[in-house]
Structure formats: structure tokens, C-alpha cells
Structure 1
Amino acid sequence: MKQRKLEILLEKVRGFDSPDVTLEQYPTPALLAAELLHFAYMKGDLTDTVYDLGCGTGMLAIGAKILGAERVIGFDSDPAALKIAKENAERLGVEVEFECMDVRQVRGHAHTVVMNPPFGAQVKGSDRPFLKTALKVGDVTYSIHNSGSLAFIKKFIEPAIITEWYNTGFPIKRTFKFHKKDVERIEVEIYRIIKENDQGE
């Protein structure tokens, strides 16, 4: 499936009714979600089990399933977001499992983890539990972070390694009172991370 077609489908995914600023509940824009997922798809990483950590209303999880992932599980600590996520999956006609739990409690194994973790703008370090869990449960991780995060992520994930990364834009719609513009575009980076013992793949 072409990236643009996926983006059009993902535009049907409904966002949060009452986003929580402390959880940095910004919906992943369809454009950015399609970009990350198409990247993973082209690398052959969306064929097996996929976990979406901090899945919110299901944007990345649903997209992974549309692109052919065998089994997709979305994890989030917000039951209200998961209720919308289930409705979104039904609306798009895909079967995705959703689990309500803190990211630190996630267990099991996925070939691929996709995630748009909190950037730590409201609660410093809130992206770290996501990275730790992703490295524990997944062989390959695709993650979105603030621009300028490369040095920190490289050090934090050792001995895992970044195989590829690039800059892109994240258009954030006015969501909270402190937002001054209707849409603010921030620079972000998308990373592909693999565990050290998977480097031969």
C-alpha cells in the first residue's frame, strides 16, 4: 500500500475527547503515522507481532494492522482513550487488541514496537519507561522523539543501536490552553532501533 493511501485511511481515526496534558496526549497526525509505518513496512518489520506502546486512540496500531501485521496489540493506561481506539479499529474494519496498563507493566514479545512516546515536555524523563519497555519486549523499535535527541537516545539504549533515523515535521493542532497557534509544526526525529544481538538480520 502506498504511503498516501494509508494516510487517507488513517485520517478517519478519531482523536482524544479530553486529552490529558500530563500524559502529553497529542494524537499522532495521520501524515506522520503513515510516514513511520511505511518506513517500517518497507524494512519488512510489519509482518509479525507488533506492539504499540502508549497507543492512545490507536493510530499507529490500526495502521500497522492495515499494512499486514499478523497480530497487533496497543497498550495504554487511559481507558477512555482505549474505548475510542476500539471504536476506531471497528470503523476501519481491522482486528487490533487493546490492553489497559502502564507501559512499565507490558510483557511478552513483539517483533516490532511502534510508538510516539511523551517527549518529556510536561514531565521530564517520561519517554524513558517507553524506551526501556520497547527494548525489553521488541526486537525492532520505531519511535518518534524531539529533534536533537540523538545523543541521548544513543547512550540510553546501549547496547542496542540506531540503524537509521531522520528528521521530519509533527504538526500539533491547538490542544491545550498554552498553545498559541491553531497548528504548530515542531521538528521531530524518527528512529529505527534494534537490539545488539539482532544486528545480523
Structure 2
Amino acid sequence: MKLKQLEGHLGSLQQFSNPKIELEQYPTGPHIASRMLYTAENSFGDVANKVVADFGCGCGTLGIAAALLGAEHVIGLDVDAQSIEIASINSEDLELDVDFVQSDVRNLRWRGPIVDTVVMNPPFGTRKKGADMDFLFAALKIASQAVYSLHKTTTRDHVKRAALRDYNAKSAEVLCELRYDVPQLYKFHKKKEVDIAVDLWRFVPQRIQGKGF
């Protein structure tokens, strides 16, 4: 599937009608989501025929992108029941077989299939400090091949240091810097939209022989 075609499919997805600020619910726009998954597949071969998990899946954009790019199996996890409902409708509308499960990724006791790749747009940690790093810690425990994640560019040094030193990542690479368009969703937003500089990261986990989850 070509990039523009993928972006078009993602642009048709239903998004939050009543987002929850405490969960930092912001839609992952089709422009960023399509490029994130397209890069994961076409530069690294981390999507097609792989088991992909979408952590904090929201309305399912990243997981659905993985399914459209030929993932063998996709699992979307989110703590919010309303998000899971919207994500399920979105996947059904595109006739995709994606499993969406209500679960807090920070408290995972994984008993599912071996996950090759985790994709995620975690909370940036503006409402709950460190939320983004909690997601990364969980993802690096589950993924066997790679983790793709978006983090504020201003946190670049901290993210890299924590991933390599504390979270047992073998490598942590910024693939590109993107402009994340945050729309005016909440009452405290004064502007119609704000662009935030974010890094698209690829982390490779350090697998420990015999370790299961």
C-alpha cells in the first residue's frame, strides 16, 4: 500500500467525541500515523507478517495502520472503554481483524502471543509526570523486535538516557522530527491548534534468554 493511500484510510477514522484530559487523549493525525507505520515497514520490515501491539491505542489509528500494512495480528490496548469502542468500530468499518482490549499497559501481566513490534503515541506526561516513560518501560518489556514511539523533542536526552540505562534497550534512535498538530479540544486551549515538535523513535529491546512475560 502506498503512503498516500494509507494516509487516506486513516483520515476516514472516527475520533474522540468527548476526549478525557486526564488521559491526555489527543488524536494521532493521519499524516504522522501513516508515516510512522510506513517507515516501520518499508525501512525496517517491522510490520508485515508481524504481531503488532498498539499501546494506548485510543481510536485505533496506529494499530489499524499496522493491519493495513499487512501485520499478521494486531492487538490494541487502552485503559479507556470508550476508546476501545471507537477503535473497534473503526476496524470493522475497514473490514480489518484487530483485537482491541481494555487494559492499563502500565500494569500488564502479558500472557498473549509473542509481540514483535509495539507502536504507540503515549501521553506526553503533561498531566501526569512520567506517563510517557511508563509506557516506554512497558513496551520494551513486551516487544521482541522493536518499539516505535512519539516523544516531545524537548525530552530527547532524557528519553535516550532512560531507555539505554534503565529500560534495557539495546539501541535508541530518533528517526525524524515531526510537527504534532494539537487541535483545540479542551476548554483551557486558547489557540485553534498548536504545533509541538515530537521525535519518532525506534527502540530495539535487549532480549534476555529464557525471560517470559
2:211 aligns to what?
none
The corresponding residue for 2:68 is 66
Aligned residue in 1 for 2:121: 116
Q: Which of 82, 85, 89 is equivalent to 1:83?
A: 85
Post-superposition offset of 1:155: 1.4
Scaled by the length of structure 1, the TM-score of the pair is: 0.94
Q: Which amino acid aligns with 1:17?
A: S
> What is the aligned partner in structure 1 of residue 34 from structure 2?
34
d(CA) in 1 for partners of 2:70 and 2:179? 26
Identify the residue that residue 189 of structure 1 maps to in structure 2: 199
Q: Secondary structure at the match of 2:83?
A: helix
Residue 133 of structure 2 contacts residue 159 of structure 2 at CA under 8 Å; is this kept in 1? no
What amino acid sits opposite 1:45 in the alignment?
Answer: D
Cα distance in 2 between the residues matched to 1:148 and 1:166: 14
SS in 2 for 1:127: helix
The count of aligned residue pairs is 198
The worse-fitting range, judged by mean Cα deviation, of 73-82 and 122-131 is 122-131
SS at match of 1:149: helix
**1:130 and 2:135 equivalent?**
yes
Please give the TM-score of this superposition, normalised by the length of structure 2: 0.89
Amino acid in structure 1 at the alignment position of 2:31: L
The residue type paired with residue 120 of structure 1 is G
User: Could you tell me how far apart the structure 1 residues matched to 2:83 and 2:149 are?
Assistant: 20
Deviations 1:54-93 (A, max 9, x none): 0001000111000000000000000011001100001111
Identity %: 39
Distance in 1, Cα, partners of 2:35 & 2:124? 19
1:4 match: secondary structure: helix
User: 1:2-47, CA deviations, whole angstroms, 9 ceiling, x for partnerless residues?
Assistant: 2111111101111112111011000100111001011101110002
* Aligned-pair Cα RMSD in Å: 1.4
Letter in 2 for 1:129: D
Supply the distance in 2 between the matched residues of 1:122 and 1:4 (Cα, whole angstroms): 34
Aligned amino acid, residue 186 of structure 2:
F
Q: Which amino acid aligns with 1:74?
A: G
Query: Following TM superposition, where does structure 1 have runs of at least 4 consecutive aligned residues deviating by more than 6 angstroms?
Result: none
* Alignment-derived partner of residue 47 in structure 2: 46
Name the counterpart of 1:171.
181
